[in-house]
Structure 1
């Protein structure tokens, strides 16, 4: 495809009104062919409006099946006029964007500023005809460029349970072995806080480890303070500390919670940390609860609500009250256990951390945490929606983002956004493969789906489907037959140029919801990974039986072929994902129900 026939790429738009004019800019629209899209919005008091787009808008010349169609392109500036003694009135100034006129301005530059003046108004458009700009950029890549890893500092004495907690939250099997390699050779037994621990099983997480602040030990306290100060002064978000977990063992009835060094750190936390959230983590909560339950056996009236009140009061007396007395009532805290049956405690810690990182640090760091953590399925769904809403899921029916690109390009960039969020341990890139995409595309154009709009529990339906798939197999070594013929090639329509039709909208909506649901089922089946093609095929087949008909039927009802529009596609996508979601509190129970049927899931097999 010649550069002269390729779409032009708009990177930014600026509108200015002469100071002497009585006009004010209200908003600016970009017209491409038969569609208009608002690209700038003012307050009614602005002489200048500007916007820099996350990636280029592809416009003006669009290629359909290798034939060039030159679209009518214009910029429409909507103005409001104010004069003394006269009611305000509105006007519209049109700036035609003629392709040949623009190309005559572009000489040897990849990116060019085009300036047009009319009626005391100036429009400056940054535009390019370079083949190097013709790429769809995943939203996840933009975010991960700013903050590629969630950076956590964990402080606590040896034996407090730091390694178990990190393993539970981020599913890093080698955390105990590898953190020992980060012990400084100069100070025996003291972790080197400056060393970065990044496990190959989870590249989206980086750990810094610090010893606890014991009485009389000023070295660890000073090292932590210096390290945090250094990281706070680093300009890039990716290099800063995003959160601190201060881990303390729940003491016995006569034990002390806070050493003098810990107390000093908490008293000075705002001076040391600034806005970095610190969460005090009371570890081994299960030991306290088990002890109280054993003691309660001898108390005839201590059961049910009374026992729960006793547990709450004991935790308050041993931990929360001493903490708030020393550090104030605003200190964040959570009681956790890494034992089976207490998964909700780690999930609550992750949620508390994410909420405060988003509030006090940056939204990109909070998204990095959602991506890095592997314990809360609800946060994965939330992150998928958050990234989708930022760009490609919004305005699917009239998207200027996709003009000039094939459907394969469009679906591939959406695919990458979703799988990046779920952050599976996938050393062989099975989830990024074209074969996986082929399996998802199966039945995307099927017209007849049973009406399954009644209420149902998606998680339970998935478990029933998984058990039904696995039970007939005589051994875990028998291959899973995916719901598609082996060796099938990508559907021909994915090589067509994106067009604004309802069938295109259906396909894209279905692909987004299908992929997100399949990721949920894989999360249920492979909590630690590495993910195998066997797991992927089971997830696809289980979704095919448990939820696909409901999703596709709803999409077909929402987007009938005879109806135009579809600007509310994003709202429908989110609604369908939420309706077909596995709840965080259900995950462990559902895994238990699957139980022995999960044998052999790590074995790989051909597609």
Structure 2
């Protein structure tokens, strides 16, 4: 009989349709691997793929019930010796992971070997009938539900060759390889989808700019936008960026063709899809202004004053040749064309933040709220939008019901943490091909932060962004203290009896439980913000994660978070506390310690950390 404390039972057992064993980061050489389910008479061997990996796709699927045991038998060479080992999987944990994630896969690390078990979409769950509740008790992450309808931010980028589209896309969405279609002229159409394995949460449609008299391309773009309006949410267009290189003072911004497209938008024929005008290569405008300065006018000015003078002259020229012509074209009607001036040069990265802020706001005004969330998830230039998206996701289901326990009733604490953790990690959308942030090890590290932190100093309500510089100093201190670039970063991972309580206890409202859940949400978010600072959009390594955790624990921020939560707890009795109060407090603390994009860029300039190498947990 099923344990009545289990959140759900599986009406159709888990269907395993594939297993991958990746030992490229391990010192051992795996010779063979066999998947075994207790009730099967014969094991299923995996086949060697290119590189250091094994793979097997099962047809028919392997069927795994809760009462079954599941293991992977490895044979590997270490030095001159051949060894055998059985890796045992926790069936309950596999079911928990399946329910919490849209990815439909279970990830396990063993001796630097990455094992991915693909779970079939045929698997369904139902409520355990032994639990006396009239409501469905399935726990599924809110982001997983959003991704079902809005799996990717879909954008159309219009602009002539050389305007900077590829660089813009690569920097905003954190990808390295150019994916724009103008690299393959004549081979693609506007319906082609361009994406990158480095960021699976966005998809690009590319179109060349409008030449005078080229009605054909204008018609193609118009038809594309109109067709997308009638499609399912998954395939609808969320935004259009139309890109112009900032012209010289005597140049013309809007040519015939471009103005016709904007007329279509202002007349309503393109529907509600936001069209944002993007003025590119702002750095070149700055350079032109600097070259034309009268040297005599700079006498006696400091370097900072000269920079301000150049910036003001550039802004005035931008108004004359770009913004006012655009506003004049819009006329006196209700339609205005949101616009942003951008450069992908490092010193002007904050301009990309402004563009994505405008885009997210426009998508939120004209599409479903979930579309604005996926916009924030897809972008990789504005950490503040990650925090905002986490809050929006939290408001939808779990964060707003911590005190009432309506959604967590009869669930184990660890199951509840699983969905909270999955949602927050999904929102930050790191390039994490090895799934380190979804691993059991990282979940346990986060749990350890919650239970091991001592209360720090009483927080100063007038504190400024100085804690960002404090964090940079802490990171630099930890890196400097290491014996060498290969010295491991040590963080506590064993939580022992404390973790056992989280895993086995059923969620019940109490002061301690509410403090822990609030702390888990806030600590995890701020650790990921630190990881965002040190990773700079590169592939996530365990070394980077451990540095982020160690730096956060060593910073004043972590102790202050605990102090704020405990001070809040002392102010109200359990009977007076409401879900609204708890949600507001989580938001208040997260926003207080969030680092805005401009400050984040400044902090990165003060860091020099090589995290390309990896190390075990």
Question: Shorter-chain TM-score: which interval?
Answer: 0.7 to 0.9
Distance 1:137 1:183 in 2: 44
Give the corresponding residue for 2:69: none
Report the alpha carbon displacement of residue 499 of structure 1 after superposing the two structures with TM: 1.2
Q: Distance in 2 between matches of 1:5 and 1:514?
A: 28
For residues 416-495 of structure 1, what are the structure 2 equivalents within 5 Å?
Answer: 416-446=422-452, 448-454=454-460, 455=463, 457-484=466-493, 491-495=499-503
TM-score by length of 1: 0.74
- Alignment check: 8 A CA contact 2:272 2:366 kept: yes
What is the 5 A alignment of 1:69-88? none
Give the structure 1 partner of residue 285 of structure 2. Answer: 288
1:163 aligns to 2:157 (yes or no): no
- The answer on whether the counterparts of 1:503 and 1:561 sit within 8 Å (CA) in structure 2 is no
- The 8 Å contact of residues 149 and 368 in structure 1, kept in 2 or not, is answered as yes
Q: What's the CA shift for 1:260?
A: 0.7
Q: Is the 8 A contact 2:161 2:182 kept in 1?
A: no
Instruction: Pick the structure with greater CA Rg.
Output: 1
Check if 1:542 corresponds to 2:542.
no
Matched residue SS, 1:153: strand
| Matches of 2:408 and 2:137, distance apart in 1 | 11
Q: Pick closer, same or farther for the CA change 1:324–1:381 going to 2, 3 Å.
A: same
The aligned counterpart of 1:146 is: 149
**Alpha-carbon offset, residue 256 of structure 1:** 1.9
8 Å CA contact retained: 2:137, 2:407: no
- SS in structure 1 opposite 2:252? coil
1:363 aligns with 2:372: no
Instruction: Please report how far the alpha carbon of residue 488 of structure 1 lies from its aligned counterpart in structure 2 after TM superposition.
Output: 6.3
Point out where structure 1 has 5 or more consecutive residues left out of the alignment. 10-108, 112-126, 186-190
**Cα distance, 1:391 vs structure 2:** 1.5
2:255 to 255, 259, 263: 259
Length, aligned pairs only: 481
Whole-angstrom distance in 2 between the partners of 1:494 and 1:418: 19
Change (3 A) 1:409 1:249: same
* Counterpart position of 1:223: 220
Q: Tell me how far 1:228 sits from its aligned partner.
A: 1.0
Q: Does 1:581 align with 2:594?
A: yes
Structure 1 residues 488 and 529: CA distance shift in structure 2, 3 A: farther
In the alignment, which residue of structure 1 is the partner of 2:41?
Answer: none
Matched residue SS, 1:444: helix
The residue aligned with 1:269 is 265
1:410 aligned residue: 416
Q: 1:181 to 1:321 in 2, by over 3 A?
A: closer
Shift, 1:7, TM fit:
7.8
Separation in structure 2 between the aligned mates of residue 494 and residue 8 of structure 1, nearest angstrom: 18
**1:15-26 correspondence runs (5 A):** none
Cα distance 1:233–1:520, how it changes in 2: closer, same or farther (>3 A)? same
CA contact (8 A) 1:416 1:432 kept: yes
CA change 1:146–1:458 in 2 (3 A) is farther
Cα offset, 1:561, TM superposition: 11
Give the secondary-structure state (helix, strand or coil) at the position aligned to 1:204.
Answer: strand
TM-score (norm 2): 0.73
2:378 to 357, 372, 393: 372
SS at match of 1:604: coil
SS of residue matched to 2:211: coil
1:95-147 Cα distance to aligned partner (Å, 9 max, x none)? xxxxxxxxxxxxxx979xxxxxxxxxxxxxxx868xxx542011111222221
Q: Distance in 2 between matches of 1:515 and 1:273?
A: 41
Distance 1:110 1:514 in 2: 32
Q: 1:5 to 1:429 in 2, by over 3 A?
A: closer
Distance 1:360 1:562 in 2: 40
Give the secondary structure class of the aligned counterpart of 2:450. coil
1-side partners of 2:195 and 2:496: how far apart?
38
Q: Are the structure 2 counterparts of residues 561 and 243 from structure 1 closer, same or farther at C-alpha, using a change threshold of 3 Å?
A: closer
1:604 matched residue in structure 2: 614
1:203 to 2:209 alignment: no
Stretches of structure 2 lacking an aligned partner (at least 5 in a row): 10-124, 128-132, 299-304
1:552 to 562, 568, 576: 562
Q: Structure 1 residues 184, 194: CA separation in 2 closer, same or farther (over 3 Å shift)?
A: farther
Contact 2:155–2:240, Cα closer than 8 Å, also in 1: yes
